[in-house]
Structure 1
Amino acid sequence: MNAYNATQTRQPSSQSEGGIFQRVTINMQGRLMLANYEEFACFVIEMSPGDLYVKCAGRPRLRERVIAYIDHIGRIEGNVLALDETGFTLSVNATERKREKLAAQLIWLANKHELGLPEDRRHDRLTPRQTTSEIVLEDGTRYTCRIMDLSLSGAAIDVENRPPVGTPLRLGNMRGRVVRHFMEGVAIEFLSIQSRDTLREFL
């Protein structure tokens, strides 16, 4: 996917080996590691499948290799393309398949309120360090999935076999139902608001 509609601010597009991509505003926290292995907290303001703009106390050099772990996105590796007073632009070094999945994640992040995905802003959203899990249908069918977003009220999962909307299922010990499909998976709404202890046990 080489372009998609989204909010854009700092720079309209970026050129990468995959083509031209438009950035979306995501405002996500994360951590990054510079080439000298120093680690810093960071804040990703905008991102596309080709690059991202990061605010960070760490100051890399131009073309330096940086590895970042971004909430709701995961691991990103790239090289510094440009620096300014408050941050820098980092390329996204990835395969075409990885870019396609990243584009789907960014679309979901930019538009989830319009898609009606289960998000209650009163409930904190979590991104587990171990994102691989599985869903279990009522007939015992199991599907491996990847957790993209998790809160006390629901989850978004990347799963190849998408059960129909309304399908009851279980994610860990949390029972819910499919309420929406999106490009890479499904949104689940839990049957009851989960406790923080339940989520900690699951994670």
Structure 2
Amino acid sequence: MSTVTDIKSRLDKRKIKIAARGAQEQRRFRRVQLSIPGRYLDPVRGEFACKLVDVSPGGARISAEVPPPVNDHIVMLFEGLGRLEGDVVRAGRAGFAVRFSFSDRKRDRLADAITWQFNMARLGLNEDRGGARKPSRGQATLTLRDGVVIRANVIDVSISGAAFACLERPRVGESVRVGGMSGRVARWLDNGFAVSFDPPASPQTPPAA
């Protein structure tokens, strides 16, 4: 009986590890909308203008008046994301989709860059150009519920939240606004606090005609 229990326990732990790994990969390859103009280079036809529609560390959807043929390997350049390359997996009149092809290290750097670019506009972040250029460096203006304004340095930022370094520490659970995003203070840190962003509002169903 103990042998059966041990086997079942090992299987349960294996399932948990597989589920955790799957959840991690899903977060890692989460696609976000980014509208960034750029250019792509087709090795045969030359260089063309394009615009990023959405992107993840695994691939992107791109609009272009002159899309490349399917299966072409192309090089793209987007401000803030740098040089990207991959294979065209779909193409149509509105644009094309590409699957990136590079190392895991480059993929991780791209994930950081995507997160930073995604949050810069919606949180009203200003890059700290005096320091090292890192995806998590910058300053933000936070407004508390009572109107108090806090200027804080960004420690870390993700799609669902951000951490800030400053002397002030609003109470946990307090409402806060960062740029165009609202959220609540999730926890205190040694040198600041973390904010959890509110989920986006569900689109309202249009009234019947």
TM-score by length of 2: 0.50
> Alpha-carbon deviations, 1:111-146, whole Å to 9, x = none?
235655227xxxxxxxxxxxxxx957xxxxxxxx4x
Q: CA deviation at 1:159?
A: 7.7
Letter in 2 for 1:180: V
> Alpha-carbon deviations, 1:7-64, whole Å to 9, x = none?
xxxxxxxxxxxxx722110010001101215111110101010010111122311110
1:74 and 2:82 correspond: yes
1:158 and 2:134 correspond: yes
Q: 1:31·1:70 contact (CA, 8 Å) conserved in 2?
A: yes
Letter in 1 for 2:112: A
Q: Distance in 1 between matches of 2:42 and 2:111?
A: 25
Q: Secondary structure at the match of 1:109?
A: helix
The two structures, once aligned, show a CA RMSD in angstroms of: 3.4
1:99 and 2:73 correspond: no
Q: Which has the higher contact order (CA 8 A, sep 6+)?
A: 1
Residue aligning to 1:198: none
Letter in 2 for 1:103: A
Residue aligning to 1:50: 58
Residue aligning to 1:3: 26
Structure 1 gap segments, 5+ residues each = 5-19, 120-133, 137-144, 146-156, 166-176, 188-203
Q: Structure 1 residues 179 and 71 mapped into 2: Cα distance closer, same or farther (>3 Å)?
A: same
> Alpha-carbon deviations, 1:49-94, whole Å to 9, x = none?
0010111122311110110001111100001011122110011111
2:126 aligns with one of 115, 118, 131: 118
Structure 2 gap segments, 5+ residues each = 1-23, 140-150, 159-163, 165-209
Letter in 2 for 1:59: P
Q: Structure 1 residues 82 and 159 mapped into 2: Cα distance closer, same or farther (>3 Å)?
A: closer
* Structure with max Cα Rg: 2
Q: 1:34·1:66 contact (CA, 8 Å) conserved in 2?
A: yes
1:180 and 2:182 correspond: no
Residue aligning to 2:36: 28
How many percent of aligned residue pairs carry the same amino acid? 27
Q: Distance in 1 between matches of 2:156 and 2:45?
A: 37
Write 1 or 2 for the structure with the bigger share of helix: 2
Q: Distance in 1 between matches of 2:92 and 2:104?
A: 29
Write 1 or 2 for the structure with the bigger share of strand: 1
Q: Secondary structure at the match of 1:62?
A: coil
Q: Distance in 1 between matches of 2:60 and 2:49?
A: 15
Q: Structure 1 residues 85 and 113 mapped into 2: Cα distance closer, same or farther (>3 Å)?
A: closer
Residue aligning to 1:173: none
Q: CA deviation at 1:183?
A: 5.7
Q: Secondary structure at the match of 2:36?
A: strand
